Each structure stands twice: as structure tokens, then as C-alpha cells.
Amino acid sequence: MAEKNKETGACKAFEPITTAEQLEILLEQERQAAAEKYGDYDDLKRTVAEYSSQIETLSGELSASQTALKARSADLYRLRAATAHGIPYELADRLAGESEEEIGADAQRLAGILAAQQPAPAHVSTPLRSNEPAGDNKTEAMLGMARSLSMED
């Protein structure tokens, strides 16, 4: 079979190897060609190892950042849900759930419980001075009577 000359592209006739010296020359040429072709293999191997190390480091940092982001997002969802449902800030961290919808549903349940446990509003107090806002009609009548009694003294 004819081989092509790498430099000229012309085919040369097959020459049989008849001596050990010819074999050694041919093997040396092949070693040199392989060394040229794969000479930077060790450098490439070292570079791949460095990049693999960087990938592992960055993957760890990415994972930590994603975990922190998820925690911050959950905190934000809790604060939004607590504010929207009238839950005190101190109780916002008690809201449970992974998603905004789950946290919102938990906030709605907690707001219902808190509303049921709140005491009835205290009776409207009677204004002490005339510049304070007035209460209901009964309170105004009582206040008027108290003023008239104090003026008669």
C-alpha cells in the first residue's frame, strides 16, 4: 500500500524493512511524531486537574449561596405574610412552609387564631377635657351632668 508524504502530499511506494537499523529509524521517527503530537499532554493534564479543583470549589460556593438565598427568601416570605395578615413581627419567624403560598396559608391560620384570642376592646373612656374627642351620647350626657354639678359648687 502506498503512503502519502506529509510534506508534499505525494504518495511514495512501500519500502519493506529489511534491517534492524531501518526498524530503529522508523520507530524513532514515530516516537518523535508522537512526542510532537502529545508533547503538551502533561501540561493539559495539570490544567484539567486545576480546573476540576476550581469547579469543585465553585460548586460548593454555589451550593452555599443557593442555600442562603433560599433561607433569605423564606424569611422575606414570612415577613410579607405576617405584615399582610396583621401578625406581629415577633411571630413572623414561627410561620412554616417552603413556598410563598404555604407560608401565606400558615399566616392566615395563625392570624385567625390570634384574632379569636384577642380580648374584646375596652369601653371607650370618657374624655377628661373638652379638647379631647367625645364618646357616645350617653357619655356626653354624663359629662354634661358632671360639669353642671361642678359649676354649682
With respect to residue 151, please indicate whether it lies within any of the assigned structural domains. Answer: no
With respect to residue 109, please indicate whether it lies within any of the assigned structural domains. Answer: yes
With respect to residue 22, please indicate whether it lies within any of the assigned structural domains. Answer: no
Task: Identify the helix (H) or strand (E) that includes residue 11.
Answer: strand 11-12
With respect to residue 104, please indicate whether it lies within any of the assigned structural domains. Answer: yes
Task: Identify the helix (H) or strand (E) that includes residue 52.
Answer: helix 41-84
Give the model confidence (pLDDT) of 62-72 as tens digits. Answer: 999 999 999 99
Question: Which residues touch 103 (CB under 8 Å, ≥6 apart)?
Answer: 74, 77, 78, 81, 95, 96, 97
With respect to residue 111, please indicate whether it lies within any of the assigned structural domains. Answer: yes
With respect to residue 36, please indicate whether it lies within any of the assigned structural domains. Answer: no
Flag residues of the chain having pLDDT under 50: 1
Look up residue 85 and give its DSSP letter: T
With respect to residue 141, please indicate whether it lies within any of the assigned structural domains. Answer: no
Give the model confidence (pLDDT) of 31-67 as tens digits. Answer: 888 888 887 888 888 999 999 999 999 999 999 999 9
* Model-wide pTM > 0.75: no
Q: Which domain holds residue 55?
A: 41-115
With respect to residue 24, please indicate whether it lies within any of the assigned structural domains. Answer: no
- Angle (CA) 98 101 105, round 5°: 100
Number of structural domains, the chain? 1
- With cell 508534499, the residue in question is 8
